[in-house]
Amino acid sequence: MKMSFNGWYSAIIIAAGLGFAAIALTAYATGQNFLIFVGMGIFMAICMTMTSIQAQRQHKLRKASGK
């Protein structure tokens, strides 16, 4: 079964969130607080990239439909 783009979009954002949670828990357990900022940066970069890709797809579809 082939996943739709929205399925991939959701899966990637959820995976990034879980990765950030794991890094944050590791930072809390080890006392290395810089890991929180590293994880936050990675999570924000993934979210912004995926949102940009989604917006480009919507723009392309809107342009193709003639609106």
pLDDT digits (tens, 9 = 90+) for 4-59: 888 999 999 999 999 999 999 999 999 999 999 999 999 999 999 999 999 999 99
pTM: 0.79
| Model pLDDT, residue 67 | 62
| Model pLDDT, residue 51 | 92
> Between 24 and 65, where is the model more confident?
24
| Model pLDDT, residue 66 | 78
| Model pLDDT, residue 6 | 86
Among candidate residues 22, 44, 45, 47, the one with its CA nearest the CA of residue 35:
22
In the chain, alpha helices (H): 5-30, 34-64
